[in-house]
Amino acid sequence: KLLFSENVDFLTKWDEKENKWDYYHSNQISSAVNMDINRILRVDQFLYICTMKGLIILDLFDDRINVVNRGFLDIALWDIVNHDQSVFIATSKGINEFSTSSNDIIKNEMKIINNLNGYEVYDLLIDGNVMYIASEMGVFGVNLENGEGEMVSSKSFKKIEINKHDLFGLNTNLWS
């Protein structure tokens, strides 16, 4: 059953053992998923792919593909970071926490994350036990062990990076 009008390669993987390229094609994915990929994260044998219309989870060992496009604060997924048994996903309407063991959205109890519901979150960064959040409301730091957080800057940055305990922010959109 062909789900797209064209069968295009949306992801390519090098197979070192076989000395060849493997291709994942658009007809392996539901037509409800947009092929515009915003971010890719590997956690163990799984590849988490953030798109404009949900999350694609690719099992690299079994070549199984799972699409999750319901339950997020918004289906446009911008960024993804891994911590413990979860990934945090930045959307245009806040942050969702997603279990890497059950492949379900987790209700997050961290006040600072819940306070960002309804606001665009552009970038996420984890340094040790602290997750930094770049949003339209400013930059926040959240201790992932105890859930406590604070505003680091009231300036809105599209992209953040940390280097030797210095946090850098970029005001303009890298992708425009």
**pLDDT, tens digit, for every residue of 136-175?**
999 999 999 999 999 999 999 999 999 888 888 887 654 3
Residues 99 and 149: their CA atoms lie apart, in Å, by 21
Q: Return d(Cα 56, Cα 54) in angstroms, integer.
A: 7
pLDDT digits (tens, 9 = 90+) for 90-146: 999 999 999 999 999 999 889 999 999 999 999 999 999 999 999 999 999 999 999
Cα–Cα separations (whole angstroms), residue 168 to 76, 90, 148: 25, 18, 22
Distance CA 148, CA 157 (A): 21
Distance CA 125, CA 145 (A): 15
pLDDT of residue 31: 53
Percent of all residues in the chain with a pLDDT value above 90, rounded to a whole number: 60
Identify the residue with better confidence: 86 or 11: 86
| Euclidean distance between CA atoms 133 and 131, whole angstroms | 6
CA distance 50 to 35: 10
Residue 52 scores a pLDDT above 80: yes
Report helix, strand and coil shares of the chain as percent, to nearest 5.
5, 50, 45
Residues 56 and 91: their CA atoms lie apart, in Å, by 15
Who contacts 100 (Cβ-Cβ below 8 Å, separation ≥6)? 43, 44, 46, 82, 85, 86, 87
Distance set, CA 175 to CA 31, 157, 159 (Å): 24, 13, 10
